[in-house]
């Protein structure tokens, strides 16, 4: 009986030793991996927050490069199997599909704003921001001057695209030509002389060179 107890105790000590060895070896490795995992999670959260902040700060200037960059980064940074992530991607796809439609159709602008607000609200809920759709849509400062600039840029962009593609031409209207009074007088005199000559009312004076006249006289 004493031998069996000793064997059991001895075996338990061996298991404990092995556990200590594994803990000693794997502990730092697991700690490093856990740290990396946490850092990757923080980086993903920071990138998602950056996208949301850019879209929120540029939601009144949707043609700005930062707005476009943030919008195009959504399917990459918000990819995942989580239901909320899928909901964000679906909102993004709906918004993107609307952007590809004809902007000249009546109501296109209002619908664009509505879809963008829905997208931002979904992102805010996922990131832990307590914004409702009314706050996202209305609580924003957008100077009229910025809106005019953006509208003008859009008109210029479209006009240049049509011009370079040959679909439209530049309208031209000539109202007057620069003129020199002296030159105009000379042209008018020349016109009168030509008309008189062609009618036979005037003749063209011909002057022979003196050397030619002497040569002709010598021949005679």
Per-residue pLDDT of 141-168, as tens digits, reads 766 666 667 677 777 877 778 777 878 7
Same domain, 154 and 65: yes
Q: What is the 8-class DSSP label of residue 128?
A: T
Percent of the chain's residues with pLDDT above 70: 68
Arithmetic mean of pLDDT, 84-91: 95
Residue with the two structure tokens 């043609």: 63
pLDDT beyond 50 at 204: yes
SS3 31: helix
Mean pLDDT of 64-89: 93
Rounded to whole angstroms, the Cα distance separating 56 from 116 reads 10
Residues 49, 112 share a domain: yes
Residue 67's CB is within 10 A of a number of other CB atoms, namely: 19
Q: Say if residue 65 is in the same domain as residue 111.
A: yes
Q: Distance of CA 35 to CAs 20, 38, 77, 108, 207, Å?
A: 22, 5, 21, 48, 108
Highest mean pLDDT among 2-6, 21-25, 42-46 belongs to: 42-46
Same domain? 153 vs 75: yes
Torsion angles phi and psi, residue 101, rounded to 5: -85, 170
Residue 194 corresponds to which tokens in the numbers above?
């030509």
Higher pLDDT, 184 or 15: 184
Cα 83–chain centre separation = 30
- Look at residue 3 in the predicted model and tell me its pLDDT: 47
Q: Residue 196 belongs to what domain range? A: 183-214
Q: Shortest CA distance to 55 belongs to which of 74, 39, 41? A: 74
Same domain, yes or no: 92 and 187: no
Residues 138 and 41 in one domain: yes
* Domain match, 108 and 192 both: no
Query: Exposed, middle or buried: residue 153 (CB in 10 Å: 0-12, 13-18, 19+)?
Result: exposed
Question: Which one is predicted more confidently, 202 or 27?
Answer: 202
To the nearest whole number, what is the mean pLDDT of the chain?
Answer: 78
Domain count, the chain: 2
Q: Are residues 197 and 93 in the same domain?
A: no
Domain contains 150: yes
d(CA 27, CA 19): 11
pTM of the model: 0.55
Structure tokens at 154: 């859009």
Is the distance from CB of 111 to CB of 100 less than 8 angstroms?
Answer: no
Residue 110 domain-assigned? yes
In the numeric block, which tokens belong to residue 72? Answer: 């195009």
Range list of H helices, 128-180 = 133-138, 144-164
The pLDDT assigned to 146 comes to 64
- Asked whether residue 110 falls in the same domain as residue 189, the answer is no
The continuous run of DSSP H or E covering 46 comes out as helix 2-57
> Which tokens belong to 63?
């043609």
Residues 115 and 196 reside in one and the same domain: no
DSSP state of 173: -
37 and 131 belong to one structural domain = yes
Distance CA 52, CA 128 (A): 11
């Amino acid at each position: 009986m004493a031998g069996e107890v000793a064997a059991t105790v001895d075996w338990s000590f061996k298991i404990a030793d092995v556990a200590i060895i594994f803990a000693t070896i794997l502990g730092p490795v697991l700690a490093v991996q856990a740290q990396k995992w946490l850092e990757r999670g923080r980086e993903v959260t920071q990138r998602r927050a950056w996208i949301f902040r850019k879209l929120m700060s540029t939601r009144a200037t949707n043609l700005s490069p930062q707005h476009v960059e943030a919008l195009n980064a959504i399917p990459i940074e918000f990819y995942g199997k989580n239901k909320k992530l899928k909901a964000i991607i679906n909102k993004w796809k709906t918004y993107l599909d609307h952007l590809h439609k004809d902007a000249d159709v009546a109501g296109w602008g209002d619908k664009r704003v509505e879809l963008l607000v829905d997208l931002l609200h979904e992102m805010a809920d996922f990131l832990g921001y307590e914004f409702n759709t009314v706050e996202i849509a209305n609580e924003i400062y957008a100077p009229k001057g910025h809106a005019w600039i953006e509208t003008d840029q859009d008109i210029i962009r479209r006009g240049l695209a049509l011009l370079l593609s040959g679909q439209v031409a530049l309208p031209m209207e000539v109202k007057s030509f620069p003129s020199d009074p002296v030159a105009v007088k000379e042209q008018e005199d020349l016109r009168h002389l030509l008309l008189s000559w062609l009618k036979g009312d005037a003749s063209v004076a011909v002057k022979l060179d003196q050397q030619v006249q002497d040569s002709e006289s010598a021949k005679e």
